Structure 1
Amino acid sequence: EKGADLGFTLSETRVQEDPRLKAFGYSLEQVSLLLGPMAADSKEALGSMGNDAPLACLAQQPRLLYEYFRQLFAQVTNPPIDPIREAVVMSLEAYVGPQGNLLEMSPSQCHRLLLPSPMLSIEEFNALNQISQLHREWNVHTVDITFPKKEGIQGYLDALDRICDQAAEAIEKNDRIIVLSDRATSADRVAVSAILATGMVHHHLVRNKWRSQVALVVETAEAREVHHMCVLVGYGADAICPYLAIECIMKMAREGLIRKKLTPEQLIDNYKHSLDGGILKVMSKMGISTLQSYKGAQIFEALGIDDSVVDRCFTGTATRIKGMTFELIAQDAFALHEKGYPSRNILEIPGLAETGEYHWRDGGEPHVNDPTSIANIQDAVRTKNDKSYEAYSRSEYEQIKNCTLRGLLDFDFEDRAPVPIDQVEPWTEIVRRFVTGAMSYGSISMESHSTLAVAMNRLGGKSNTGEGGEDPERSLRMDNGDTMRSAIKQIASGRFGVTSAYLADADELQIKMAQGAKPGEGGELPGHKVSGPIARTRHSTPGVGLISPPPHHDIYSIEDLKQLIYDLKCSNPRSRVSVKLVSETGVGIVASGVAKARADHILISGHDGGTGASRWTGIKYAGLPWELGLAETHQTLVLNDLRGRVIVQTDGQLRTGRDVAIAC
């Protein structure tokens, strides 16, 4: 209307040569595996096989602060929402700007901005930045969250105080919008982490009772994934403009790196739509339907952040293992900045780094399942070679030390006399406690599914059907005496394959409340995998994709779970009933409720469990290690005098006898 220029000019540098991408930690994997599919398909890419990469606090390479936060989710005590089938009750709309006095009725109360989504394109952000041309009272105050590189780590710490002071000045001048921007990042200036600045300013304003007087907008090159946006919104951001991710997508299109031929406008709309869909899915895990309820709610647990940082920037967030201080965060910021703008002339491989964060790469982050370990275990099994298994155990021990919390623990052998081996429970009895992971027929082949069942039946352990049902004919004994029957029958929210015969033919009935690789989400089987036999087993239609809803349609409270447990015991009195939970803060209280609901068995799954198909956000950032969840569950059950009522089990990347011993 005023003729303002809202466009922007794309630089001539190529994706692989852009120093800003390197300075903000972009990797080739993130660009090709996440940004490309989001821009092309308008939805987040699917991953599989779980997460065997190291936790952010144990990573060898500097990580962004977002990766230290784990998403919380609803299980048992309240239901998640189905973001697909219940989309009508979900909204990303949010009013931003001064709220005024809630006790007074006046026209000024309505004078706020309505944003249809917290995600802003560069043009939309430019329009918001120049809103004072249309509404003079809507002044915008931009806070530069960069600082001179020459000031070093102390400059990073001083910048935090300066950012808070400038936000307070904006309030005193009655500015309506505060923009936190890292646009000034260059060879001479380093950016403070956008989430650190956002959380700090948000809590500074809350502590001084100023937060409702202003909108907080973030213009950042750092955020690019769904999880990054969720953390920013969860810690107080009203709107976000991920300008560098948008520029990266447009450069990829210019260089022919996106498989679909789309216009720049379509690519950016697709990227924004995929972010919106991802935010809705994360909100739905907690049973939250509107962005206004999610904004500033801090529904995360910090895994590896020190109390000094949490108290100032993320007040009230649970952090159990401590870790990153302001000084260490600053060191990571300088390490990333050096990759994009090196202060010395060094010989390096051109292009974006292959960090190996998602898939194993030589020279990248370590993975629990590396090629050496896989080769050794395959040789040990095929040739019954003890030395290969010893090599596998040693290799896994080293990798687990690099990647997991249990790798930091060791056994205390002091003042303890060894017990003669003939007094130890024999291995033939120990293996009866072993069970396979819940892998459905469909996520793996019939050959794999039935072979696991035969093997566990021979050992005396138990195999798990997963949520895809099981063919009744597998209960028949084979000519050689083996049986392909799975002892554990799982009941998930989709109820695929669940019949009276299915329930009656079980030694254990497992109610799947959540899955380690994607807690708060339902199982997913693409349509091209649903063959005739799979469809018959699941009582569905061939070729039609199957997605279990996140909530069980009949479980909205612990009382509802108790009713289902009772019904299952009536359907099969000789079977024990198990409830599958996922590790998170507070899982101990939930497990206590499950024990009181008369469950016989509780399974605590870790965040790193496998999956046939899940969004990368769920695989990488939801749930916690089983070490924390198992310890909390055991201690809470003991405190409530409930430990003797239930059997407690755990799963999640258990690799060797040492892992089993630590779990016990």
Structure 2
Amino acid sequence: MKEKEIQLDYATAEKNYIKSICKGLFKIMSKMGISTIRSYRGAKIFEAVGLSEELSKAYFGGIGSPISGIRLEEIARDAITFHDEGFAEEVGGMLHHNGLYAYRKDGEEHAWNPETISTLQLATRLGSYKKFKEYTHLVDEKEKPIFLRDFLSFRRNPISIDQVEPVENILRRFVTGAMSYGSISKEAHEAMAIAMNRIHGRSNTGEGGEDASRFEPLPDGTSLRSAIKQVASGRFGVTAEYLVNADEIQIKVAQGAKPGEGGQLPGFKVNDVIAKTRHSIPGISLISPPPHHDIYSIEDLAQLIFDLKNVNPKAKISVKLVAESGVGTIAAGVAKAKADLIVISGAEGGTGASPASSIRYAGISPEIGLSETQQTLVLNGLRGQVVLQADGQLKTGRDIILMALIGAEEFGFATSALIVLGCVMMRKCHQNTCPVGVATQNEELRKRFHGHSEYLVNFFTYLAQEVREHLAEMGFTQMNDIIGRTDLIERKTGNDPNPKHELVDFTRLLARIDNSAAIRHVIDQDHGISSVKDVTIIDAAQDAIEHEKEVSLEYTIANTDRAIGAMLSGVIAKKYGEKGLPEHTLNIKFKGSAGQSFGAFLVPGVNFKLEGEANDYLGKGLSGGRIAVLPPIRSNFDAENNTIAGNTLLYGATSGEVYINGCVGERFAVRNSGATAVVEGVGDHCCEYMTGGRVVILGKTGRNFAAGMSGGVAYVWNKDGNFDYFCNMEMVELSLIEEASYRKELHELVRQHYLYTGSKLARTMLDDWNHYVDQFIQIVPIEYKKVLQEEQMKKLQQKIADMQRDY
């Protein structure tokens, strides 16, 4: 092809260039939460890893560089070498492919490569510890360092291995990573749960929920239940029943593989079973945005921890953070917020579905994040009350020992677990084309899955055995004795061919805070739940809980009474599961000002009526119960013109009903996936990321209504005729309510609102319904509408087929 044929005119080239640059900029800005460049000019919110302090001071505004590193002369030398290679005569027109993302034979060295993958899979399949040692030799003794821990070793003072604690004790420190059912196949997800339950470790559901059929053991005693239930921003499938079937509940604030981004499950991976588990609709993409929708501050995180601890007092509450500069300060706040466990997730791990920009350029090494967290917690006297967990491409017993020496007590494995089950790192996780049936929902491809839980049991047992060997080599009898002992770490010596490595400085990373504070977990958090109001309510409601008899109770309430109903719901869900109690079994009336999370995770058969007002998070995770909020009977103001409840109400609700006689704040019904709600006015971002349910707004709305809404239906009273200005039209369609079924549905919802709250506005509308119904706008997601139309077409076709058969 001649040069003239591929040459663009200047204007087109300029336009294309600007478009591509902006696309990348907008992606990074959205990930970081930046709305305008001007606001963040000079903010220095980036990491410096491997740059010398003199370079940082001269060219990067003095941003901190925890391990120091290269200078200007090394950068210049690399640039010249790169240039010379590109213009060398023997190149022959094609530049060398370094394989930064996927492995290339002559490219950059990858920790997971054909040799390490095949050796590990062979070792775990054959049940050969000798073969496993070949694998760990490949990983630990590689020629070029890949991770920071590859530069490090530890002191030796050998003792007999017989003196070291048994394998069983060490296995309890192992967990598998948060990989949701949906992102990986049913077979892979269940194999991990079976294996971890057998070794008394813990598997993690990820943010995709878990089928209730897995909560009870199989007839042969095999347990498919994941001990860790994740509560991420998406809140997919988070019900009271889900939460009470957990030993640990994990709040994902960020993940190492893609900090600042949520995950996204493509619609073609959402089949009927996954949609049911996630309370969504088959074929519709499920977006998991960053968790700013319900966690705005440490105080909000503390409230969520309190809510979860109430619904399942026996579970540990963990918070997952990403390794980054400043994570120590965040971890200190998390510890003060009463988390039992903190996970530091490094950038090296993560899913093959992560964007390349995240895998290569976001987050930092778990060693740096873990070190900062350990030092900050010890310095502030907080380390003793939390357990620290680390993950990020941990592969061998040596990795575990080094992470323990830096401060970790528990260790997470995700990619390695999948590789043991058959993953070959094809990087096709997001395309549903995994050739070995690990990360796909395609039934034909899933037949190719040949992984077994026994392989994982072998892997973790071998890891624990190797840890014992290292402990004996170091002269310690148990893991607890080495946690936080950075004084035992030494820098590796040898013939390192790369002179740049000599510039890396581990002084700060390995610094040890010398005070009297604990350097590992020694005491549990006090969550202060022994005297909450639910304790009194549960005691008074025994006839309802134990015998399903109808019980009516009445209490005064103050804004210091938080998470009312959460502990009650947990008790009922533990006994009756998802179905809860029969309707109208337990009816409780409250008078006063409710604190945060009123009616959180409320289950079927429990009806709350509040005369007064409520704070934020009312109906959070609503799981089938009913909540009605109305002004005090003697009030003389117009309810529809006054705010009666706070922000982020009905967040992550899966079922149930809420009727509010008055206006509420921002983010109403965000992440609603099945609940019904009627309210008389809302702030900004109503129905954001909604995936199911029905919402009726009998009044004004704020801006950005229905952003990211992919399911369910909303009805808004468009009194002023300007609702389209406030609605985010990217994923939804607006229409008048013309179908008789929808008009009937709306009428019934308004009638129910009047029934439970006595709303004057609802009464007025019902008295002149034919006039008011024509003022409503119906909001339906475009994809959801297509699904509904397809379902209607299938029903019609089936009806025609039945008629033809009968004829």
Whether contact under 8 Å (2:52, 2:71) holds in the other structure is yes
Q: Residue type of the partner of 2:138?
A: S
Which residue of the partner structure matches residue 200 of structure 1? Answer: none
SS of the residue 2:22 aligns to:
helix
Q: Aligned-pair distance for 1:324?
A: 1.4
Q: 1:335 to 1:426 in 2, by over 3 A?
A: same
Which residue of the partner structure matches residue 385 of structure 1? Answer: 128
Which residue of the partner structure matches residue 365 of structure 1? Answer: 108
Which residue of the partner structure matches residue 513 of structure 1? Answer: 253
How far apart, in 2, do the equivalents of 1:316 and 1:307 lie? Answer: 7
Q: Are 1:278 and 2:33 an aligned pair? A: no
Q: Aligned-pair distance for 1:399?
A: 4.2
Which residue of the partner structure matches residue 351 of structure 1? Answer: 94
Q: 1:522 to 1:406 in 2, by over 3 A?
A: same
Q: Aligned-pair distance for 1:612?
A: 5.1
Q: Are 1:650 and 2:371 an aligned pair? A: no
SS of the residue 1:580 aligns to:
strand
How far apart, in 2, do the equivalents of 1:394 and 1:612 lie? Answer: 25
Which residue of the partner structure matches residue 290 of structure 1? Answer: 36
Moved more, 600-609 or 418-427: 418-427
Which residue of the partner structure matches residue 66 of structure 2? Answer: 320
Q: Aligned-pair distance for 1:583?
A: 0.3
2:347 to 592, 607, 611: 607
How far apart, in 2, do the equivalents of 1:537 and 1:270 lie? Answer: 43
Moved more, 311-320 or 530-539: 311-320
How far apart, in 2, do the equivalents of 1:599 and 1:468 lie? Answer: 22
Q: Normalized against structure 1, the TM-score is what?
A: 0.58
Q: Are 1:661 and 2:401 an aligned pair? A: yes
Q: Aligned-pair distance for 1:385?
A: 1.9
Q: Normalized against structure 2, the TM-score is what?
A: 0.48
Which residue of the partner structure matches residue 80 of structure 2? Answer: 334
Q: Are 1:499 and 2:239 an aligned pair? A: yes
- Give CA-to-partner distance per residue, 1:507-562, whole Å, 9 cap, x none: 00000000111011111111111111111111111111111111342110000000
Which residue of the partner structure matches residue 211 of structure 2? Answer: 471
Which residue of the partner structure matches residue 151 of structure 2? Answer: 408
Alignment of structure 1 residues 158-197 onto 2, 5 Å? none
Q: Residue type of the partner of 1:619?
A: I
**How many residues end up aligned between the 2 structures?**
404
How far apart, in 1, do the equivalents of 2:9 and 2:154 lie? Answer: 54
How far apart, in 1, do the equivalents of 2:379 and 2:217 lie? Answer: 45
SS of the residue 1:410 aligns to:
strand
Q: 1:399 to 1:445 in 2, by over 3 A?
A: farther
How far apart, in 2, do the equivalents of 1:565 and 1:400 lie? Answer: 45
- Give CA-to-partner distance per residue, 1:38-65, whole Å, 9 cap, x none: xxxxxxxxxxxxxxxxxxxxxxxxxxxx
Q: Residue type of the partner of 1:628?
A: I
Alignment of structure 1 residues 16-415 onto 2, 5 Å? 123=10, 265=12, 272-273=18-19, 275-342=21-88, 347-348=90-91, 350-399=93-142, 402-413=145-156
How far apart, in 1, do the equivalents of 2:19 and 2:186 lie? Answer: 37
How far apart, in 1, do the equivalents of 2:124 and 2:35 lie? Answer: 49
2:170 to 430, 441, 449: 430
Which structure's residues are more often strand, by fraction? 2
Which residue of the partner structure matches residue 184 of structure 2? Answer: 444
Unaligned runs of 5+ in 1: 1-9, 16-120, 125-264
Whether contact under 8 Å (2:232, 2:291) holds in the other structure is no
Q: Aligned-pair distance for 1:492?
A: 0.5
How far apart, in 1, do the equivalents of 2:325 and 2:55 lie? Answer: 19
Whether contact under 8 Å (1:592, 1:637) holds in the other structure is yes
1:585 to 314, 322, 325: 325
Q: Aligned-pair distance for 1:279?
A: 2.0
Q: Aligned-pair distance for 1:349?
A: 5.2
Alignment of structure 1 residues 620-659 onto 2, 5 Å? 620-659=360-399
- Give CA-to-partner distance per residue, 1:375-428, whole Å, 9 cap, x none: 111110111122321111111113495210000001122xx3x23222211011
How far apart, in 1, do the equivalents of 2:313 and 2:248 lie? Answer: 10
How far apart, in 1, do the equivalents of 2:248 and 2:262 lie? Answer: 21
Unaligned runs of 5+ in 2: 405-807
Whether contact under 8 Å (2:344, 2:390) holds in the other structure is yes
How far apart, in 1, do the equivalents of 2:222 and 2:352 lie? Answer: 27
Q: Aligned-pair distance for 1:285?
A: 3.2
Q: 1:320 to 1:380 in 2, by over 3 A?
A: same
Q: Residue type of the partner of 2:268?
A: H
Q: Which has the higher contact order (CA 8 A, sep 6+)?
A: 1
Identity level (%) = 54
Q: 1:510 to 1:379 in 2, by over 3 A?
A: same
RMSD, aligned CA? 2.3
Q: Aligned-pair distance for 1:278?
A: 3.3
- Give CA-to-partner distance per residue, 1:444-487, whole Å, 9 cap, x none: 00000001000000000000000111001011211221110000
